[in-house]
A and B are shown apart, each in its own frame.
Chain A
């Protein structure tokens, strides 16, 4: 019974994993890589310190 519950959960839980990864990638892309002026200036120091390509 317990095994069946774990299996059922394993099959249905790939979606939240993919969704979370996409959120993470989107946050990194917007805060670290988008070149729009205001965003670039605000995040400038962090982008350099975090080793992202900047300018």
Chain B
């Protein structure tokens, strides 16, 4: 059992993480580097002169981008362990796990760890004003936990009671509100910040759908290899 989880999670996490890191480097990193030109003061928004929206952002930085690839694979492997553990739990309780419905698991994972916290704590470009990082982390973990439980209840609940609890769990963190900064001090143009958040969500969704797909695929394959009886 543990071997099956371990193998599926490692393969799924590494392959989805590698693709995620390439997508991030292609689509998110240039926006981040652009924002850093404003964060460092090299460019000034609303200064004396209008600033060109097209800047030289440099090419591939082996050290910096190499570390990013490493950490993206690590983070998606961490997600894969949680995802496959939950798939194993569902499998034990009679649910069928396949590559195809892994796609839906992936979307649910994206909603849980990206969209749910990101709705009130939007993916930030460097340099934005934000509340204390520890308080935001507590809110982030609490929101992810609520969303995870809520999606499980939506998927496997069989009456309006669990579905109602799920709705409350999804809404509550946002009704309570995420920690906000006292004042706005961000030097980065709103166009860049908005593009960054949109790109982060887009790449996150793509990566998670792939993670779900791979996790379902490897779970199914490893099960067949171990001779675990398949659901019909």
Contact = CB atoms under 8 A, between A and B. Distances in A.
A is bound by B = yes
B121 A45 contact: no
Contacts of B88: 13, 16-17, 20
B221 interface: no
B92 A20 contact: no
Give chain B's interface residue range (CB within 8 Å of chain A): 35 or more
Given A13-B1, A21-B86, A25-B82, A53 B75 contact: no
Nearest to A12: B1
Contact of A48 (B80, B124, B229): B124
Contacts of B117: 51
Interface in A1-55: 2, 6, 9-10, 12-14, 16-21, 23-28, 31-33, 35, 42-43, 45-46, 48-55
A12 B123 CA distance: 40
Contacts of A17: 1, 5, 85-86, 88-89, 92
Contacts of B37: none
A42 B78 contact: no
A48 B125 contact: yes
B225 interface: no
A12 B92 CA distance: 11
B98 interface: no
Nearest to A13: B1
B6 interface: yes
B75 A46 contact: yes
A27 B124 contact: no
Nearest to B28: A49
A20 B81 contact: yes
Contact of A20 (B24, B29, B84, B125): B84
Nearest to A45: B68
Given A14-B89, A24-B81, A50-B204, 6 more contacts: A17-B85, A20-B5, A21-B85, A25-B78, A35-B133, A51-B122
20 contacts: A2-B229, A6-B229, A12-B1, A17-B1, A17-B85, A19-B2, A20-B9, A21-B86, A27-B78, A31-B71, A31-B74, A35-B133, A35-B134, A45-B64, A49-B29, A49-B123, A51-B113, A51-B201, A52-B140, A55-B133
